[in-house]
Amino acid sequence: MQAASAVEQSVADVIARFLVSQGVQRVYGLCGGHIMPIWMRLDAHGIRLIDVRDERAAVYMAHAEAELTHGLGVALVTAGPGVTNAITGIANAHVARASVLVLSGTSPTAQDNRGGLQDLNHTAMVSGITRYARSVSHPALVLQELNEAVSRALGHGADSGPAYLDFPVDTLRSVVPQAVQLPEFFVKHEAPISSPSPHSVKAAVDLLWHAKRPLFISGRGARKAGPALKQLLSLLGAVYLDTGESKGLVPEDHPSVVAAMRGNVMSQADLVITLGRKLDFQLAYGSPAVFGEAKFLRLADNTAELRDNRRGTVELLADVNQSLLAIIEAGKDRQAATDKTWAGGLRDQHLARAEKLQQSMRQAPAGSDGLMHPNRLLSALRDALPADSVVVADGGDFLSFTRVGLPATTYLDPGSLGCIGVGTPFGVAASLVHPDRIVVVATGDGAFGFNAMEIDTAVRHQAPVLIVVANNGSWAIEVRDQQETHGKVVGTRLQFADHAAMAISFGMHAQRVEREEDLDDAIAKALQNRPALLDVLVTPEAASSDAKSGLAWVPDLQALSAWDDAERQWRETPPSRT
């Protein structure tokens, strides 16, 4: 055993003190000898360890924590298979730009590369999916490396994303000279707030106040700009679409919201304003084949969200909230040119469609198998959940039904990596971050299976999550693709397994629901007995909008069949540019 004073000045202790200084309250992890010194010092310094059942889940949970707190999420995973298990989570955080710090251990320095226990070159494996990946073997460098890693993870001055650090276990046990433990290394990293140049603000105002059909699209970079965004939308009478990254930012009752008219509005706008949003596959890569002649105005605090796929006629590289405030200040006395008939018409059509959707969800017919339509389940959830619930959606068809049918002010899903299986871990972390709000995970049975063991974590940590499994006994969206594309179904059927029985065996309140008439009561009981799971049998025959759009088939040029056709046609048409 080490002397107490040596432990308190050890690298492991410095890591724990540093995390405390950054406001970290929870670390998600799975134990192992190579990280035990950190584990024990985290506990000694009052950081709560959320011990999970697979390292992948630890990173997903840290990801959800980061997204919901707008801060840092931390995962601690052991060497070798601990890191390889974590890799899908790291990749997902990389694509989602989530501020996750992953910490691990490595072989003792004297055994490095000798075939030691769990000896792998971790940094080489994660370097392509992290903003920063280093092995820190010198005790005096630990604080410098931690500060750099956190800064990169938070994305100050660049895009945010996962950062990775590991330490040989003997380094973790080594003493950090007190002289190098400078106080400034323990100062919390605050986000810099950058302002746009007056010149670019003026150019943006000119574009915005001349536009007849302005369309705003928000992403993760707009999350802190809700009030300013609402104000600017009202000033201009513009129309607005959110994306999975920013769902709930502008409330449904704002007259600019036209979510149900997504397809139409994208091709009609004459000015598209992206707010901290990449023009990825979900936005047709910003292609003129889909957006027509529209000009683009792009606002982001990092170049990754400012210039991907499509340059803006005007580009504001600054804090999105500051840019919006500056635009409002400079333009507020002008007369907007927005075509009110166009915007109002879209809003009316949106409201009519949204109303119709609610009606049709309530009456959605059962399948020929007699099982309820997933929209019946969602409709019952919609009626039961408070407006400020946190919604986590996961799966194929069921994710699509949930995204469209279940409103949310706070929302998480597998994101553009399409990383199904995140649902339960995201939900567990979300319910720890927001213990006073209802957190519901709406997941397909296939997606649930990836991290189903985390129901154990939820029970042990009393994480008050409600998991709703839409059990259709299949990877349904893939079944449909096989039926339509290949005329044969193979390897895509599951069992109608009893997930409620599984949850009960781990001590969770759970109920299997087979009949529509039992839904309301089951949901009410589950809400009162969280953590809880409902295993609801639904028909695999219901085709979601994602199934109909061709997403599962993965077309060559664009993500959706209609966009793919448009893109092909556009590429074949000679340009009429002058």
Ligand X SMILES: Cc1ncc(C[n+]2csc(CCOP(=O)(O)OP(=O)(O)O)c2C)c(N)n1
Of 65, 145, 315, 478, the active-site residue reads: 478
How many angstroms separate the CA atoms of 353 and 27, rounded?
43
> Does residue 478 touch ligand X according to CB under 6 A?
yes
Span near ligand X by CB under 6 A; candidates 98-106, 218-226, 315-323, 439-447: 439-447
Q: Is 427 in the site for ligand X (CB under 6 A)?
A: no
Q: How far apart are CA 465 and CA 449, in angstroms?
A: 17
Q: Report the residue number, 254 or 493, with the smaller CB distance to ligand X.
A: 493
List the one residue from 67, 445, 454, 567 that touches ligand X (CB under 6 A): 445
Q: In the complex, what is the shortest distance from the CB of residue 103 to ligand X, in angstroms, rounded to a whole number?
A: 24
CA proximity to 428, closest of 401, 390, 396 = 390
Rounded Cα gap, residues 1 and 173, in angstroms: 10
Contacting residues for 205 by C-beta, under 8 A, at least 6 apart: 327, 330, 331, 334
Question: Which residue reads 């003190």 in tokens?
Answer: 17
Asked if residue 420 binds ligand X (CB under 6 A), the reply is: yes
Binders of ligand X among 184-203, rule CB under 6 A?
none
Annotated active-site residue 478? The verdict is yes
Q: Which of 28, 291, 296, 398 binds ligand X (CB under 6 A)?
A: 398
Binding to ligand X by residue 426, rule CB under 6 A?
no
Q: Which residue lies nearer to ligand X by CB, 18 or 60?
A: 60
Q: Which stretch binds ligand X (CB under 6 A): 187-195, 262-270, 389-397, 556-564?
A: 389-397
Which residue number, 145 or 397, has a Cβ lying nearer to ligand X? Answer: 397
Nearest distance from residue 415's CB to ligand X, in Å? 11
Quick one: which of 476, 510, 522, 560 contacts ligand X (CB under 6 A)? 476
Neighbour count for residue 184 (Cβ, 10 Å): 7
Residue type, 456: D
The residue whose two tokens read 């890569």 is 285
Binding of ligand X by 395 (CB under 6 A): yes
Minimum Å gap between C-beta 494 and ligand X is: 7
Task: Indicate whether 54 belongs to the interface with ligand X (CB under 6 A).
Answer: no
Q: How far is the CB of 451 from ligand X (least distance, A)?
A: 11
- What is the DSSP-derived secondary structure letter of residue 452? T
Smallest distance, Å, CB 12 to ligand X?
33
Please, what's the b/e burial string for 461-475 (b: 16 or more CB within 10 A of its CB; e: otherwise)?
bebbbbbbbbbbbbb
Among 297, 430, 477, 533, the residue binding ligand X under the rule CB under 6 A is 477
CB neighbour list of residue 370: distance below 8 Å, 6 or more residues apart = none
| Binding status of residue 472 toward ligand X by CB under 6 A | yes
The stretch among 115-123, 169-177, 355-363, 470-478 that binds ligand X (CB under 6 A) is 470-478
Nearer to ligand X, 56 or 131 (CB): 56
- Please choose, out of 198-206, 292-300, 473-481, 562-570, the segment that lies near ligand X by the rule CB under 6 A: 473-481
CA-to-CA distance for 331 and 319, rounded, in angstroms?
A: 18
Q: How far is the CB of 88 from ligand X (least distance, A)?
A: 7
Residue from 73, 219, 244, 446 that binds ligand X (CB under 6 A)?
A: 446
Least Cβ distance, residue 442 to ligand X (angstroms) = 10
Exposed/middle/buried for residue 96 (C-beta within 10 Å: 0-12, 13-18, 19+)? buried
What values do phi and psi take at 310, rounded to 5? Answer: -150, 125
Q: Is 416 in the site for ligand X (CB under 6 A)?
A: no
User: What letter does residue 474 receive in the DSSP assignment?
Assistant: B
Residue 331 or 405: which CB sits closer to ligand X? Answer: 405
Locate the DSSP E strands across 385-527. 390-394, 410-412, 439-444, 465-471, 509-513
Contact assessment for residue 384 and residue 520, using Cβ atoms and an 8 Å cutoff: yes
Structure tokens given for 91? 């990749």
Could you tell me which residues are beta bridge partners of residue 167?
105
56 versus 122: smaller Cβ distance to ligand X: 56
Q: Which residue has the tokens 């406001």?
A: 23
The residues, ordered by sequence, that sit 6+ positions from 31 with a Cβ below 8 Å of its Cβ are: 39, 51, 78
CA–chain centroid gap for 146, Å, is 24
Contact map string, positions 347 to 366, toward ligand X, x by CB under 6 A? --------------------
The first and second tokens of residue 203, run together, are 């150019």
Could you say whether residue 396 binds ligand X (CB under 6 A)?
A: yes
Residue 38, H or E segment: helix 36-44
Which residue number, 393 or 466, has a Cβ lying nearer to ligand X? 393
Per CB under 6 A, 425 contacts ligand X: no
Q: Should residue 378 be labelled a site residue for ligand X when binding is judged by CB under 6 A?
A: no
**Rounded CA gap, 330 and 520, in Å?**
51
Q: Which residue is nearest to ligand X (CB)?
A: 444
Residue 397 sits in the site that holds ligand X (CB under 6 A) = yes
Best CA proximity match to 212, nearest among 269, 288, 264, 255? 269
Q: Does 564 help bind ligand X (rule: CB under 6 A)?
A: no
Measured from the CB atom, is 204 or 442 closer to ligand X? Answer: 442
- Number of residues binding to ligand X, judged by CB under 6 A: 19
CA distance 555 to 566: 12
Closer to ligand X by Cβ: residue 271 or 468: 468
Candidate ranges 69-77, 198-206, 290-298, 395-403; the one touching ligand X (CB under 6 A) = 395-403
Using DSSP bridges, classify how beta strands 410-412 and 439-444 pair: parallel, antiparallel or unpaired: unpaired
User: How many residues are present in the chain?
Assistant: 578
Q: Give the binding site for ligand X (CB under 6 A).
A: 395-398, 418-421, 444-447, 470, 472, 474-478
Instruction: Cite the active site residues.
Output: 478
